[in-house]
Amino acid sequence: MASTAARPPLPPRAPIVPPEDLESFQQHLNKSTRILALLGAGLSASSGLPTFRGAGGLWRTHEATQLATPEAFGRDPGLVWQFYSYRRHKALQAKPNPAHYALAELARKKDGFMTLSQNVDGLSPRAGHPASQLKLLHGSLFDVKCSDFFCKYTESANYTDPIVPALEIPTDESDPTTISALEARAELDISDENVALPELRISDLPRCPLCKKGLLRPGVVWFGEMLPTGVINDIEKWMSDSAKIDLIMVIGTSARVYPAAGYVDSARAKGARVAVVNMDRNDAPARGLYNGDWFFEGDAAKIVPEILKSVIGEITEMPDAAVEA
Ligand code: BJW
């Protein structure tokens, strides 16, 4: 028979951010009208998506950043497509976490809040972040475009997974534990280098439907490529709309990639105080932190909803603005 004795009370939970930092940050947030956020891969880490550098930064035997170049695509488009096809698949399986929802809610509560995201995973749009307050600096995994310089074909919101049959995650039909291709797809992780990948022929890869000549490529910004002109212009306009910026939150990014990282300095030059949310205390912006800045150490998915609570209230379970089939 179950005991009826009362359980001893649980010890109080340690606060996830130091109360004095939380209080001073929230006082500043509450009165801020012009706010920026610079987002990076750490924001989506607790949604199960790997980051680029440090732990999780390897894909099979390749550095993720080495695959994100036009040269890598030119050399081995099959390998680069396998990398991006895997990332599209993982991003479609992932769900936005409380930090994505909290930032979307902050955008609804404060007109003067603008988010600059380096992420290409589609989780902020799926959390309902207002599009007019979200600038995707590095494009999207779900945009594709022709790799031929002279062809201007682009396509957005392409969620076909895999984008062509040859990029299907391989399943071993001879393995009796493989009950169905669907189940195997969920279990197999092609980032594991022990999973054999099929040899791809160029003719297996997605081809441009317009010029019929060039290969399609992911609509993301690779090293050495320009960020989308419209996005850069919108940000410059937002920056010059007022002489002052009150706050920039730098969330889950190593802040090492330019021009994105440069927005921290631009905001500071307009008076912004800087609040960093990161798992790693060494990953402060390149020019360091100043008096009056904040560093919130830990998982963005837990910290962001906590520090924004004074404006957005409690984040409850929200619907996923689902990707159309
Ligand atoms: C957590 C967490 C948790 C973990 N909670 N936190 C000036 C100086 C020097 C160099 C340059 C310069 N200007 C330009 C350059 C060159 C280059 C560059 O910046 N190089 C640097 C590496 C030095 N920049 C470019 O080439 C850019 N283009 C350009 O400038 O064009 C100019 C031009 C003009 C005219 C003609 C032609 C060109 C383009 C940069 C494009 C970057 N692209 C990528 C790939 C996108 C596609 C894809 O996703 O595959 O963008 S690279 C990769 O890095 C990706 C990311 O968006 C970006 C930033 O990475 P991020 O998000 O910061 O991730 P990580 O892994 O680095 O950090 C994760 C962080 O999270 C860590 O701090 C963790 O601790 C933390 N974390 N878990 C909180 N749970």
Q: Write out pLDDT tens, residues 20-32.
A: 899 999 999 999 9
Rounded Cα distance, 178 and 169, in Å: 13
Q: Write out pLDDT tens, residues 153-199.
A: 999 999 999 999 999 876 555 554 444 454 455 555 677 766 667 77
Rounded Cα distance, 304 and 99, in Å: 5
Cα 10 off chain centre by: 36
DSSP 207: B
CA-nearest residue, atom 10 of ligand 1: 258
Q: Write out pLDDT tens, residues 203-256.
A: 999 999 999 999 999 999 999 999 999 999 999 999 999 989 999 999 999 999
What ligand 1 atom has the least distance to the C-alpha of 52?
A: 66
What ligand 1 atom has the least distance to the C-alpha of 283?
A: 73
In the chain, which ranges are continuous DSSP H helix? 19-31, 64-67, 70-75, 77-93, 98-109, 123-126, 181-187, 229-240, 262-269, 300-307, 309-312
Annotation says 138 is catalytic: yes
What ligand 1 atom has the least distance to the C-alpha of 99?
A: 5
What's this model's pTM, rounded to 2 decimal places? Answer: 0.92
Burial 114-136 (b: 16+ CB within 10 A, else e): bbbbbbbbbbbbbbbbeeebbbb
The preferred substitution site among 223, 231, 302 for testing ligand 1, maximizing ligand atoms within 8 Å of CB, is: 223
Query: Which residues lie below 8 Å from residue 282, measured CB to CB, with a gap of 6+?
Result: none
CA-nearest residue, atom 34 of ligand 1: 226
Q: CA dist 154 to 86, 209, 224, 225, Å?
A: 21, 10, 20, 16
From the CB of 258, is ligand 1 less than 6 Å away? yes
CA-nearest residue, atom 78 of ligand 1: 42
Locate 209 and state its tokens: 């439907």
47 is in an annotated binding site: no
Structure-model confidence comparison of residues 317 and 67, the more confident one? 67
Q: Report the pLDDT value the prediction gives residue 197, as an integer from 0 to 100.
A: 73
Q: Report the pLDDT value the prediction gives residue 28, as an integer from 0 to 100.
A: 98
Query: Which residues lie below 8 Å from residue 81, measured CB to CB, with a gap of 6+?
Result: 163, 167, 200, 205, 206, 218
Mean pLDDT score, 64-88 = 94
Catalytic residue from among 89, 100, 129, 138 = 138
Mean pLDDT score, 249-273 = 97
What domains are there in the chain, each with its CATH number? Answer: 18-48+96-138+227-325 (3.40.50.1220), 50-93+141-220 (3.30.1600.10)
